[in-house]
Amino acid sequence: MKNISFLFILFTGFINAQQLSSDEISIINQGDTNSALPIYQTTDDHQHQTLLNLSTEINPLDPNTTTLVKRMKEALLSTNGGVGIAAPQVGINRKVIWVQRFDKEGNPLEYFINPVIIWRSELQNLGPEGDLSIPDFRDQFYRSKVIQLEYTDLKGEKHSEMVEGFTAVIFQHEIDHLFGILISDKKEKEKNDSYKQVEAYKKSDSTTR
């Protein structure tokens, strides 16, 4: 009985930790909830700090999560060539991303709740990246060619899949955002690293995430 009570307390604490704060709910529901949320920029000090903060898990069954997912998609669609977006880029430090699936027919946009990369290949891609939150910045970056991803949908169901090529690059870029990692900072850390280059990038240099 003591073990059951302890597990219940742990589960309750986990669920409570996922609950959105009043400030987060206010941002998610500001204005027309069918419209795009503004995309945060590094040129604004407050917004830049939000982009650098660590994101936490979100409750997929919370109605506000559904609104956030919908408005993030609208934000991505409002850009010129964006192929991915993460919740910190709309001011919410929670683990939600959208990715354009170039590995699927029709290149659909798909959302991912609490995504985690549980495995990365040692073989690296080298290719161009930009960022919707960093104006006038582009460079070449190394990314794992193949990743294994685990995530949840809005029904609370868990999924796992292997992703490779350019789509895997987008996933890695967006999940970096959830850890407060920006490509402008990442470049400095990569200077002394070396990788084997493979050609997996298929989009033009205008691609931003």
Given this model, what pLDDT does residue 195 score? 43
pTM: 0.85
Check if 174 is active-site. yes
Q: What phi and psi, each to the nearest 5 degrees, are found at residue 56?
A: -115, 170
| Annotated catalytic residue, options 57, 105, 174, 188 | 174
Q: What phi and psi, each to the nearest 5 degrees, are found at residue 140?
A: -95, 135
Given this model, what pLDDT does residue 192 score? 58
**Cα angle: 161, vertex 150, 187; to 5 degrees:** 95
Whether 146 and 104 have beta carbons less than 8 Å apart is answered as no
The beta strands (E) that lie in 39-133 are given as 84-86, 96-100, 109-120, 124-130
Given this model, what pLDDT does residue 193 score? 57
Given this model, what pLDDT does residue 41 score? 98
> Distance (Å, rounded) from C-alpha 202 to C-alpha 151?
25
Given this model, what pLDDT does residue 13 score? 47
Given this model, what pLDDT does residue 186 score? 83
Q: Which domains does the chain possess? A: 22-191 (3.90.45.10)
Neighbours of 5 (CB within 10 A): 9
Given this model, what pLDDT does residue 94 score? 98
DSSP state of 204: -
pLDDT in tens, the chain (209 residues): 555 554 444 444 455 569 999 999 999 999 999 999 999 999 999 999 999 999 999 999 999 999 999 999 999 999 989 999 999 999 999 999 999 999 999 999 999 999 999 999 999 999 999 999 999 999 999 999 999 999 999 999 999 999 999 999 999 999 999 999 999 998 766 665 544 445 555 444 445 66
